[in-house]
Amino acid sequence: MILDQTRVNRIFLPETYADGVPYELLQELRASSPVCWVEEPAVGAWPAGPGYWAVLRHADVKHVLRTPEVFSSQLGATQIRDPDTAADLDFARTMMLNQDPPEHSRLRRIVAAAFTPRALGELAAAIERCAREQVDSVRGLGRADFVQLAADLPVRTLAWILGVPEQDRQLLADWSNRVIGYQDADYADSRTVDPSRLTELGRTALAARPATRTTPDGRPVNPRSRAALADMFAYAHGLAADPLPGSLLSRMREGGLSTEEFETAFFLFAIAGNETVRNGLPGGLYTLLSHPDQYRLLVRRPELLASAVEEMLRFWPPVVDFRRTATQDVELADVRIRRGQKVVVYHGSANRDETVFPDPDRFDITRTPNDHVSFGYGPHFCLGAQLARMQLKAMIRTMLELPELALSSDGPPARLVSNFQNGLKSLPLCWQSCS
């Protein structure tokens, strides 16, 4: 079959995702060209790229993710867009996310202690309490924007883990918006923090924030570069000078990380640890309320919450895609991939693969087994997956206590414009007020 390249390129364009993940197109491509070439046309001020191979079937996605010796995270890092300079690439390569074993394994061991069952158990009560406080704050109003309501839970959880003072936690939200939402005009220059509420360290770091998002010659600055995040790294170093004992930051400093490894580790947890839940929670609840029969079933049978959360993650993966780079010439699904070419796995496509998930477009909270790849697979399987699940369960459980919970007529949900994160910017909800 001859593919319409312009149509295929839609899975790359950020504007496509303003209307939702293009599941119909992904299904068509899985059937006809499960490993297909995608061009990278220029997007606004962002220049065109060399193109990449999109991997769309569940089995092929898992194969790519479990074979880092062939499909490397380190060679070109893990974002579709190439770093602007060799220095930017070198810096990105110090991040655990952008490394291959054995270096990846060394960094993972240093931070893994923060995510043991015992450590998570110590956080459980605080997470449940935070979820209840957030819901109680709006319970009598009868309506709320769930994106705004839920956003504070992952931010507070991260602040506890990293040892960030309560006054400074909104910095984490702004950093995430700038990095993850750089393709969306509403988030690219996020400034929601109130400087008067920050600690002295927070105000000092805020002063280090770059004044412009463009280079002297007018090109956009890569939002994930060291220069673009000078304020975040200034804060990380200041906090590490006197870390909270037992915090993840304390473990990172004691682990013998280089300066660059420390900075990128802070980046990884401050951003990725926030966005997975911030996308997954609204997306999951929106999916549930869009299927009233499943909502009513979960209200009747709350013991289905764990399987419901897994189905929410399958149906609404927080991350759209991740990139690898071929270390050698290799064949995948009868397609010849050349050494050095980009290979991008699509979680949303793998999660709807009809050869693995019967009736994949049906949302079914009783689905089992549920072999979704929303947390990745292989050596890079999400270290914080259990923590994310804990937060999702706590907030969904608490929201289900609100009687007659439903999508509001105040307006449709607003989606994040991003070809990487599957997020919502607003989700108006209503319920029967108890006041």
Q: State the Rg of the chain over Cα.
A: 21
Residue 16 CA, chain-centre distance (Å), reads 18
- 425: number of CA atoms within 13 Å, CB side? 19
Listed residue (268, 266, 298) closest to 79, CA to CA: 268
What is the reported pLDDT for 1? 59
Could you give the angle at the alpha carbon of 434 between the alpha carbons of 433 and 435, nearest 5°? 95
Mean pLDDT of the chain: 93
pLDDT tens digits for range 290-344: 999 999 999 999 999 999 999 999 999 999 999 999 999 999 999 999 999 999 9
**Residue in this structure with the two tokens 């070439």, named with its chain if needed:** 37
Q: At what angle do helices 385-399 and 146-162 cross, to 10 degrees?
A: 140
pLDDT tens digits for range 56-111: 999 999 999 999 999 999 999 999 999 988 999 999 999 999 999 999 999 999 88
**Is the pLDDT reported for residue 214 higher than 80?**
no
What is the reported pLDDT for 411? 86
CB 350 within 8 A of CB 340: no
Whole-number Å distance between alpha carbons of 88 and 79: 12
Q: Give the highest mean pLDDT range of 75-89, 172-186, 216-230, 294-308.
A: 294-308
Give the burial class of 359: count Cβ atoms within 10 A of its Cβ; 0-12 exposed, 13-18 middle, 19 or more buried: exposed
According to CATH, the topology of domain 5-430 is: Cytochrome p450 (1.10.630)
For the entire predicted model, the pTM comes to: 0.94
